[in-house]
Amino acid sequence: MSQSKPSFFANLANFFRSLFGASPPSPAQPPTEPDKPVITPEPLVPLEPRVVALVYDPIVDPIKNLSLIEWGRTNRGWSRVEDLIAGYLADVDETSGGLVKYNVVERITIPEFPLKADGFRYTALEFLDMYTNHMDRYHQPDKIDYYKIIADHRLTERVNNDEIDEVWIFAPPFAGLYESIMCGTGAFWCNAEPLANTSGRRYVIMGFSYERGVGEMEEDLAHRTESLMARIYNAQSFLSWTYAFRSNPNQFDALKYAETNLFAKFLLFDKIAPGNAQCGNVHYAPNSDQDYDWGNQRPVVTYADDWLTFPNLPRAPKTQNAAAWGSGDIRGHHHWWFSRFPKAAGRINGISNNWWSYICDVTNPEFDARA
């Protein structure tokens, strides 16, 4: 945005004055933002996060030299890691408007099962017997040893040496991975408690399963995204409530809260804001009645497509159902959801209009200012 166009800024300021109308805060509300939003210019800066991908792929049949991934592809329809990476990279690139181009700088194959935090490691026979015959008997606690992974692959050192920015682990089911977890000095909640006793530059370890698809990888990224944006907008309690609203329906007046919180506004869906659905959270599409209800055909009025023109939110209602966001397909819904994330130049009240700058750069000092 340029300061040489005062008429545009005047119109934009009028719009945001209506969006952020002042009202006395209730106990459930965040601190009221200024009556007149502070709009400042800032250019869009593309990100190219560097990733090391660790792939656990033990041999399960030494005679045939058959690896676990090949066994799973043949017998259970598992995915090739190459296809998962390619699909994920393409979707993030597209939905971010080209602002995020992940770069997998190294892929390391680990020919063994992951070590659990209590020292347990499956043998090939143990894992295949459990997975094939009685999944209810998987080893517990089902938690991977992150510290061994970090030590074995010098992850903290490599992050601190500015070689990599992020780690992706591809592992079999029952590996004990979190969808995402943050490490480093000042690490904070990222869909999991931060990994204790880690230091240095912050980074995220993503946990992916080759039993699943690209849609599930994007589910992991989406929950990471919710955690990060809720911190930036001081909306952690509201985010949690959008998943548990039935247990305490009066904790928030969703519409009123969203008047002063843009991320909360983005999260609105019909069940908590009838007739005023925006994009919803990861599990609740605009018309969902319950978790993961992305295939619901019930038509509702939404303002989700307003976010395609952010920071201009024209308040243009559309009647939509699951056909708009993938008809129940997990990848289709998440692609639709991420496509509506703001990716514009400039700032409003000190927060970037490019939300991807937070999603894919956890070293951003703005996270510390909102501790």
Tell which residue, 322, 247, 349, has the closest CA to residue 30.
349
Q: Which amino acid is at 40?
A: T
- Does residue 11 carry a pLDDT above 60? no
Tell which residue, 307, 306, 296, has the closest CA to residue 271.
296
Q: How confident is the model at residue 104 (pLDDT cuts 50, 70, 90)?
A: very high
Tell which residue, 104, 127, 105, 125, has the closest CA to residue 114.
127
DSSP symbols for 11-59 = HHHHHHHHHT---PPPTTSPPPPPSS--EE------B--EEEEEEE--E
Taking the C-alpha atoms of residue 233 and residue 282, their distance in angstroms, rounded to an integer, is: 17
257 near 264, Cβ under 8 Å? yes
Does this model's pTM top 0.85? My answer is yes
User: What are 279-320's pLDDT values in tens digits?
Assistant: 999 999 999 999 999 999 999 999 999 999 999 999 999 999
Q: What's the chain's average pLDDT? A: 92
28 near 81, Cβ under 8 Å? no
